[in-house]
Amino acid sequence: MNNNIYNTLLITQIVISILLVISVLLQNRAEGLGKMFGGGGEVFRTKRGLEKFLYYFTITLIVILVVLSLTLLKLG
């Protein structure tokens, strides 16, 4: 029984990791080191629509991934 739960959590962790990578890659690429060196004329910009959803979705996936990792560590 314990091995079954461990394998299910491990597969879930892999799926969450893939979703996290996709979520990060889909986010706006214009925000990077370019703004730090004077690129871009915007001082402040709010996130709206899909960008806001992806931002919170990424944070949620990170929290789930950390909890799954700690749970797998405890079971392993």
Sequence ranges of the domains in the chain: 2-75
Confidence of residue 18 (pLDDT cuts 50, 70, 90): very high
Whole-number Å distance between alpha carbons of 55 and 43: 19
Q: How confident is the model at residue 47, as a pLDDT?
A: 73
Please name the residue that has the structure tokens 């996709």.
Answer: 22
40-63 mean pLDDT = 82
Residue 31 pLDDT > 70: no
pTM assigned to the model: 0.75
**42: pLDDT confidence band, cut at 50, 70 and 90?**
low
Q: Which two tokens stand for residue 51?
A: 């960008």
Q: Residue range 13-19: average pLDDT? A: 97
